[in-house]
Structure 1
């Protein structure tokens, strides 16, 4: 379920110190972006922040909640998004700290994708048409 308009507005306001915050519907959820990097996702008005190996220790408290997941062929697939503890919404400065860490993880993930796509062979390109002359 996507974020309500009120919740999306609330997140934009709370996370504004990070930069330009936007939201977009994705896969039946709402992606939370800062300058085109997806730092979080919202489902049922619950914020999940992006984690990776570098910020996992920072988010240790969030590990007590199940990560964001989806079902594929009867199997639950966990995503790299952990639920933000409710107490963060009582402390806007700490919420921004957590979101800043999630944003750093989002940027690292984007950088890895850019490097791996640059290494892929050009097999997906359209074949070049050669015109023969006699």
Structure 2
């Protein structure tokens, strides 16, 4: 799941224009992206993925975006979907999509806290 320095820099530059308090952290060969303390995105193989749930997944699927599969096509499907290239290029659209992913991340964090984990 390697990430080139140039793609990482490009994505972070775009996200920092769209959201406040965005930071990246290396993880398992990829990059995890946070807004504050909320984990909401992953970069893997030079593809940006946003966290989704039942409320937001359809927006990605309707655009033909694919789920993040860290172990290849036969592996586990994670709740992150590719972000369309035109969304990454458009600051207003990116702000909307990224804000939605942050909201999903916060909901997931709240559910986890309620379960005690």
Offset at residue 38 of structure 1 (A): 1.1
Per the alignment, do residues 90 and 15 of structure 1 end up closer, same or farther by CA in structure 2, a change over 3 Å counting?
closer
What is the match of residue 7 of structure 1? 7
C-alpha distance in structure 2 between counterparts of 1:46 and 1:3, whole Å: 8
Residue in structure 1 matched with residue 112 of structure 2 by the alignment: 113
Structure 2: tracts of 5 or more residues without a match: none
- Cα deviation, residue 18, structure 1: 1.9
Do 2:3 and 2:29's aligned partners in 1 also have CA atoms closer than 8 Å? no
Structure 1 residue 66 displacement after superposition: 2.5
Unmatched 5+ residue regions in structure 1?
Answer: 119-134
Instruction: Flag the 1:92–1:36 CA change in 2: closer, same or farther, 3 A.
Output: same
User: Would you say how many aligned residue pairs link Structure 1 and Structure 2?
Assistant: 116
Aligned equivalent of 1:131: none
Contact in 2 for aligned 1:14/1:96 (Cα 8 Å): no
Give the TM-score normalised by the residue count of structure 1. Answer: 0.75
Taking CA–CA contacts closer than 8 Å with sequence separation of 6 or more, which of the two structures ends up with the larger relative contact order? 2
Question: CA contact under 8 A between 1:2 and 1:25: conserved in structure 2?
Answer: no
Distance 1:31 1:56 in 2: 19
TM-score, normalising length from structure 2?
0.84
What secondary structure sits across from 1:88 in the alignment? helix
Equivalent residue, structure 2, for 1:42: 43
Q: Given that residues 19 and 95 in structure 2 are in contact (C-alpha distance below 8 angstroms), is that contact kept between their aligned partners in structure 1?
A: yes
Once residues 51 and 24 of structure 1 are traced to their aligned partners in structure 2, the CA distance between those partners, rounded to angstroms, is 20
Q: Distance in 1 between matches of 2:23 and 2:3?
A: 12
Secondary structure of the corresponding residue to residue 15 of structure 1: helix
Residue number in structure 2 paired with 1:76: 75
- Root-mean-square deviation (CA), in Å? 2.1
